[in-house]
Amino acid sequence: MMKNPFKRNTDIKTVSQQQINRRNFISFTAFAGFSAIAYGGWRWLNSLPVETSGTTAGANKLLRRALDKNELVLRNAFSNNHLVQTYPKSMAAKVVRVNSNIGMTDTSFDSKTWQLVVNRKNGTQLKLGLDDIRKLPKTAIVFDFKCVEGWDQISHWGGVKFSDFIAHYNLQEEAAMQYVGMATPDGKYYVGMEMASIMHPQTLLAYEVNDQLLPDKHGHPLRLIVPVKYGIKNLKRIGSISFSDERLPDFWAKRGYDYYSGL
């Protein structure tokens, strides 16, 4: 007789009702177990400590919490006023690396007429020259400057502590806000960050490197030195400073880098 290839195998093993019951029981137990784990995980996510206000305020809780867990941990570590490691001046690089110069190529820029524009909360502007800033108490720091591109270098910077600057110009109302933004005079490079980092005791508005006025390539007349952040946040050639309770835009965050970019 020809074998019919389409004919189903009639030689089916008889499966007892008992076996079926047992299989059903096993799969039901497994399903219940996984469900419990999933539910527990969801409950755990929801029970995570509420984040410090500001950072991700208003964002989808569950999603943001997962995305910003790193930031949360860092920010919490931060509230202890944790300082970055500093080094003796003798360890500072004599030839300081130059990275990029976005926002520093405007040929009409004139450092002699440059002014730092501070946008106050009440809508007025404070305009300062480098001489004004150099009158404030000077602070220096030697620390390991880190670029996200993979290099780091111990370097020596001098300027005014951002917190001293705030106190001297009575910008306490501004400092009580959640975020700071800084931009180059042409607006082409800009950074945004949370207030804690900018008010950190090691953050400087710097006008010197290795005890000399900053050369153009390092951000003359004034740059940000924020040692608790990667290089990308250390804006060179500051044109303006703004304050807000909302996250202010950030050049590299817009291009997919971590907004926090903390160490």
DSSP state of 248: P
Give the end-to-end CA distance of the chain in Å, rounded to a whole number: 79
Could you tell which of ligand MTE, Mo ion, none binds residue 103, using a CB distance below 5 to 8 A set by kind? ligand MTE
Work out how close the CB of 199 gets to ligand MTE at its nearest, in angstroms, rounded to a whole number.
20
In whole angstroms, what is the distance from residue 259 CA to residue 59 CA?
14
Cis peptide before 5 (omega within 30 of 0): no
Residue 24 or 100: the one with the smaller Cβ distance to Mo ion is: 100
Tell me which residues in 186-225 interact with ligand MTE (CB under 6 A).
189, 218
Among 147, 175, 177, 213, binds Mo ion (CB under 5 A): 147
In whole angstroms, what is the distance from residue 191 CA to residue 123 CA?
20
Residue 118 or 232: the one with the smaller Cβ distance to Mo ion is: 232
Candidate segments 16-24, 54-62, 94-102, 133-141, binder of ligand MTE by CB under 6 A: 94-102
Tell me which residues in 28-87 interact with ligand MTE (CB under 6 A).
none
Among 67, 74, 93, 99, binds Mo ion (CB under 5 A): 99
User: Counting runs of H as helices and runs of E as strands, what totals does the chain give?
Assistant: 8, 10
Nearest CA to 177 among 123, 247, 233? 247
Among 158, 219, 231, 262, binds Mo ion (CB under 5 A): 231
In whole angstroms, what is the distance from residue 218 CA to residue 235 CA?
9
Question: Contact between 101 and ligand MTE (CB under 6 A)?
Answer: yes
Going 19 to 21 to 24 to 25, the CA torsion angle's sign is negative
Work out how close the CB of 148 gets to Mo ion at its nearest, in angstroms, rounded to a whole number.
5
| Contacting positions for ligand MTE (CB under 6 A) | 97-104, 147, 184, 189, 218, 231-232, 234-237
